[in-house]
């Protein structure tokens, strides 16, 4: 009976390390809504296999919330990150700079719409169309930082991962037996 061993390489650990680093960045002081969690969800959904693409970013969010404290409306926030991870799944392996920017902007808009709808559903705003508009209007000043952080962190994570992928492919090419080499 042959037992297959799975060697864990730096490249296999890299997505998890990037997500852990992002979770740590969330707990250090930062400007309002300039946090890496949206980018983590997008990246995790795009890069991690199966349910790990949803579970790992949500675990990072939960761990950082355990440090920062839990809050009312948490279900709307977590729900938005599940949707963003699914958006990352749709991004998949077709990751170009333009697509990462587009999906990152979509993630920011999705977070804004879902979480502020949740705020409207709470006790702060009247449950009228005017109350809904008030909820969205009150969040506009924070939206700029959400967009900027999602763009910066997404480009950084996907860029680091793309560069690491190229390095790993070059390394694998050097390690291939001579009969499989093309040069």
The domain locations on the chain are 14-23+32-167
Neighbours of 42 (CB within 10 A): 31
CA dihedral defined by 167, 26, 46, 143, rounded to 10 degrees? Answer: -120
Q: For residues 1 and 18, what is the distance between their CA atoms, to the nearest angstrom?
A: 37
Amino acid 11: pLDDT: 73
pLDDT over 90 at 154, yes or no: yes
Amino acid 16: pLDDT: 83
Distances (CA, A) of 107 to 18, 68, 74, 111, 183: 18, 23, 17, 6, 42
pTM of structure: 0.85
Condensed to tens digits (0 to 9), the pLDDT of residues 118-141 reads 999 999 999 999 999 999 999 999
């Amino acid at each position: 009976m042959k037992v297959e061993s799975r060697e864990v390489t730096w490249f296999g650990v890299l997505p998890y390390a990037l997500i852990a680093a992002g979770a740590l960045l969330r707990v250090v002081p930062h400007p309002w809504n300039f946090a890496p969690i949206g980018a983590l969800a997008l990246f995790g959904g795009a890069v991690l296999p199966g349910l790990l693409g949803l579970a790992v970013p949500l675990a990072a969010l939960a761990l950082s919330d355990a440090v920062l404290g839990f809050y009312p409306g948490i279900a709307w926030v977590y729900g938005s990150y599940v949707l963003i991870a699914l958006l990352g799944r749709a991004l998949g392996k077709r990751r170009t700079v333009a697509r990462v920017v587009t999906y990152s902007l979509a993630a920011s808009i999705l977070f804004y719409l879902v979480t502020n709808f949740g705020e409207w559903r709470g006790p702060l705003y009247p449950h009228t169309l005017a109350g809904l508009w008030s909820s969205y209007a009150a969040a506009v000043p924070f939206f700029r930082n959400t967009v900027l952080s999602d763009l910066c962190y997404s480009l950084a994570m996907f860029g680091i991962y793309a560069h690491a992928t190229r390095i790993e492919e070059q390394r694998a090419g050097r390690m291939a037996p001579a009969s499989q080499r093309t040069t």
